[in-house]
Structure 1
Amino acid sequence: MKITIIGAGNVGTALARGWAKAGHEISIGVRDVDTFKDKDLLRDKNISVENIPGAIERGAVIVLSVPPGAVPSLVKYLKGAAEKIIIDPTNAFRSGLEGFETAFDALRNLTECKHIVKAFNNTGFENMANPGGLDTFVAGDSERAKEVVRQLAKDLGFANCYDFGGSDKAGLLEQLGLCWINLALMQSMGRNIAINVLKR
């Protein structure tokens, strides 16, 4: 599958490496290709870097791995992406989003994209890089997008990807991500903790 990841921070890099290892074709979308610093990523034959418009045009799945406040500035690049799957892994923790509660809300209101989902926001990038035995979650109205996310989670090595509900539950899923942040960082439990579903 052709996957575009906008942003090359810790989360974007972890997802890129994991999906490339699973055989997916990854395009990292950045504002300036010439100043892209993580050349080590490009040693993987399944990972390339290009400008944001080119990367979005290439991908069937678009992951917006950027600070939540940056999402509105990316909307102009999504005009031709109505049928593409858009994954929002953000949590509005330190950076607010003027006019919207979450990046997910901004995407739903500012774009014509039909397949927007909240996913890969409930744990840290270290766990995304090595998720064996961990659970993750997805929320959104598009069953097509959720099916793709469940497969992509499996490809990364997550044990389960639970359906958290429709778009009305995306904010709740973001709160789960903030719970992880609170435990890991504010309560000093460390970034290697995870939130799993225990069935008894």
Structure 2
Amino acid sequence: MKIGIIGAGQIGASLVRQYAKAGHDVKMTNASGVEKLRALESETGAKAVTSGEVVKEIHVLVISIPFIEISKLAKSLGQDISDDTVIIDTTNYYPIRDGRIDEIEHGMVESVWVSNHLSRPVIKVYNSILAGSLVQAGLPGGSPSRIALPVSGDDEQAKRIVARLVNDSGFDALDIGSIQDSWRQQPGSPVYCTDLNSAQLKRNIQLVQKDVLPERRELALQFILKQDPVQYLAWSRECVTNNRIVFKTDINE
């Protein structure tokens, strides 16, 4: 499969490695310039290209950037993405980094907001797993303790394609419904960054309460950043880049 990846942070770079290892034809880009991707290019065989090139002649486009950058990305991409391209949205909204977005604060589902800005349907996946787990915890298909990832979207064929890629990256895929249902895998949900197998994920999906997600999102973030120092450092760089103030967290606590 031909795959383009926008964003080569912890999640994006991990997917570059996993997809390339699985035999896919991968190209990638990032906001800081392709020269910073040369080491990853040499390591994986994936091609470092410009943002204009990354969307051309691909089957799947993975968007793995800070949520606040979606609007800027939508403007830069314009109409360059083919109607046949499946778009994977890995993003999460955190007001402390992204600033307050009134539509989401008033109840709009995060990936619906992303889809609206891109003017394209998206499939939500990979947003609910720690970067460290994505790097280290993948297992062969059929492993009883294999982590399962929720997948949401409106196009059944697109979800089947995405499920194949999730499998290729070392995880099971669980279809949890439409893009309107993707709030169930947003930060603060009991399936968010919990490394559950398929049976556990199915159980926890039923426990999600939408009205408590905003409060639990902040608690989840505090926990995640304490558990994963690498992700904490990446998060801090994103906050500085986007002129946000990251709260004080003792990651050695």
Q: Confirm or deny that 1:57 pairs with 2:56.
A: yes
Unaligned 5+ residue runs, structure 1? 193-200
Partner residue, 2:223: 186
Q: How big is each residue's C-alpha offset from its partner over 1:99-142, in whole Å with a ceiling of 9 and x where there is no partner?
A: 5426522332233324x111011111221123222111100101
Identity percentage of aligned residues: 25
Partner residue, 2:180: 168
Tell me how far apart the structure 1 counterparts of residues 191 and 98 of structure 2 sit (CA, whole Å). Answer: 13
Which of 112, 127, 131 is residue 125 of structure 1 equivalent to? 131
Q: TM-score, normalised by structure 1?
A: 0.82
Residues 18 and 172 (structure 1 numbering): CA distance in 2 closer, same or farther, change over 3 Å? same
The answer on whether the counterparts of 2:70 and 2:114 sit within 8 Å (CA) in structure 1 is: yes
1:42 partner amino acid:
E
Alignment of 1:31-110 (within 5 A): 31=31, 33=33, 36-44=35-43, 46-76=45-75, 77-81=77-81, 82-93=83-94, 94-96=97-99, 98-101=101-104, 103-110=110-117
The answer on whether the counterparts of 1:3 and 1:62 sit within 8 Å (CA) in structure 2 is: yes
Tell me how far apart the structure 2 counterparts of residues 97 and 61 of structure 1 sit (CA, whole Å). Answer: 30
- Structure richer in strand, relative to its length: 1
Unaligned 5+ residue runs, structure 2? 140-145, 194-216, 230-253
The answer on whether the counterparts of 1:28 and 1:55 sit within 8 Å (CA) in structure 2 is: yes
2:185 partner amino acid:
L
Partner residue, 2:237: none
Partner residue, 2:206: none
The number of residue pairs the alignment matches comes to 189
RMSD between superposed Cα atoms in Å: 2.6
Residues 45 and 92 (structure 1 numbering): CA distance in 2 closer, same or farther, change over 3 Å? closer
| Bigger shift: residues 124-133 or 145-154 | 124-133
- Structure richer in helix, relative to its length: 2
Higher CA-based Rg: 2
Q: Secondary structure at the match of 1:11?
A: helix
Q: Secondary structure at the match of 1:138?
A: strand
| Bigger shift: residues 8-17 or 95-104 | 95-104
The answer on whether the counterparts of 2:21 and 2:44 sit within 8 Å (CA) in structure 1 is: no
